[in-house]
Chain A
Amino acid sequence: MTTIDKNAVLSPLGHQLVEGSLTDAAIMRATEATPNFAILPWVNVVKIGGQSIMDRGRSAVYPLVEEIVANMAHHKMILGTGAGTRARHIYSLAIDLGLPTGVMTVLGTAVAWQNAQMLHYLLAQYGVPFIEPEGFSTLPHYLMERNAVICQGMPPYKLWEHNPATGRIPPQRTDTGCYLIAEVFGARRMIYVKDEDGLYTADPKKDPSSQHIPRISVEELLARDYDDLIVERAVLEMMMRGRNLREIQFVNGLKPGQLTAALNGEPVGTIIYRATSNSSDNGDSK
């Protein structure tokens, strides 16, 4: 079998990786203690909701576009889009037709893509490009030159999406796709723009006695095991494994100024933060 020359310059961990099994728990633990480099530490990932913002059309989208443009002078943003009501329609059809989850991811991605294109048309005059996952290596350039880029929020899993634990709907959708962009780039902030002031003890659209939660740890939120959540469960699970991003924030895009406040670091809406530290934390992240 081909191995690497014993005289090659490899760290002790490198020798373990080349010679051992990647399923070996000891090797996985050894990779835990490696440093974290933040690729784009100044970027903010902003997810624009599909059903909550885009499906409302002009009344919700125009003021938000104005606020985004006003913030482009001060903040660099990756704008990801959600899918929304057309995704719900095609998921319903696909379930009825017996199509598998991976096919639904391909279909749902097209809806998030449409929303990203629409946002792109509205922001095109400010030089903001739309970037496909395959073009992400050009993204730093546009962020330096124009301060914002648009992408569709779905992760590019296509047919390779996992089945969900329950039911048929893809478990990793646009909340997760945007979270992973923020985590992998070591972004400054991850902000979700929806149509509520943040997280409530119950769905405020259905239960008027529900109470607003301004700040909660992901550990606590997972322990409460709510039937419904403001964000995909996969995001909370991934936050427990994240190495870069410590918190995510939810703001109401129907209220002017909330996105600006969140970009400026103000505790508006709801912040979900990681309370326990990752065993890998070694203060070497920036």
Chain B
Amino acid sequence: MTPTQPGAQHVASRLMRESLVDKGVLASTESKVTAILPDVNVIQIGGRSIIDRGRSALLPVLDEIIANQAQHRMIIGVGAGVRSRHIFSVGLDLGLPTGALATLSAKDSAQNAYMVSCLLAKYGFVYLEAPFVVQLLPAMLAAARGAVFNGIPPYALWEHLPAVGKLPPHGSDAGSYLVGEVFGVRKVIFIKDVDGLYTADPKLDPEATMIPAIGAADLLKKNLATLPIEPIVLELLGRAKLMREVQIINGLTPGNLTRALAGEAVGTTIHA
């Protein structure tokens, strides 16, 4: 302990007595980050796009995950879907704030993640709540064959405020991406029900063409009316240290996940 200021007791460190808001101090902390789990792949399964379709869509995706289990270590983030849309509607009507909506919605993705973990249990997958992802994920991956987690991050009442409106900006795309970034994983793959990113919503506009690869900043500039992933993922990519790209694939097309895991340019890749 080094008492250096009258009345304050400091521990000697490079940041001692510095303001952690000061721009110069913050810039001085820029340095290399080590990957914690560099051989793991994060697979996000969309709630509305895959889970809500039930057996016909979900089981082939899970079969493909198991078929790849021998070659690739995977942790699976699961999204919420239509039940969250419903509770958003009720919650907004009641006047509840964004943090309350985020807390409620995270239970929908927890339910979906739990169902996925039950379906994968016999192949050695475990379901991990956020505190266990923090404490146990590396140990679990050493012992178990894979893990399923709640795609929605544990922000709860502390959810950020959106730029427009009241809906929570962090869903299961952001949460899954952030897990990939913090662990410095090999790949982050989003399994959706479209072939990738289009110039317009392909469900509404037959003229829409697919974009196989694009930078996150360029995509933000295009200001598309809708996106197949949460817009905040594009902002997060702009600050990436390790996970500098994400891939969006169509989970309704067999073989896409296998190809993406093998490093093929299937679907759309969005890079930092």
Contacts and interface: CB of A to CB of B under 8 A. Distances in A.
Interface of A: 1-4, 10-11, 13-14, 17-18, 21-32, 34-37, 39, 51, 55-57, 59-60, 85-86, 88-89, 91-93, 95, 97-103, 106, 133, 136, 155-169, 173, 177, 180-181, 183-186, 203, 227-233, 238, 241-244, 280, 284
B134 A159 contact: yes
B208 interface: no
B242 interface: yes
Q: Which of A97, A100, A160, A177 has the most chain B CB atoms inside 10 A of its CB?
A: A160
A163 B36 contact: no
Contacts of A133: 156-158
Nearest to A225: B23
Given A88-B18, A89-B13, A106-B134, A160 B226 contact: no
B230 A23 contact: yes
Interface stretch (B27-35, B60-68, B139-147, B259-267): B27-35
A136 B157 contact: yes
A159 B162 CA distance: 21
Given A1-B52, A155-B158, A243-B161, A227 B97 contact: no
Contact of B165 (A28, A106, A173, A232): A28
A254 to B, nearest CB: 8
Contacts of A244: 97
B164 A32 contact: yes
B92 A156 contact: no
Chain B contact-residue range equals 35 or more
Contact of B53 (A1, A23, A241): A1
Contact of A2 (B11, B54, B226): B54
B82 interface: yes
Given A24-B226, A238-B160, A88 B82 contact: no
B206 interface: no
A86 B54 CA distance: 49
B182 A241 contact: no
A34 B92 contact: yes
Given A89-B13, A158-B130, A164-B239, A100 B181 contact: yes
Given A17-B89, A18-B89, A173-B20, A37 B82 contact: no
B212 interface: no
A244 B28 CA distance: 36
A15 B227 CA distance: 19
Interface string B69-99: 0000000000001100110111011111111
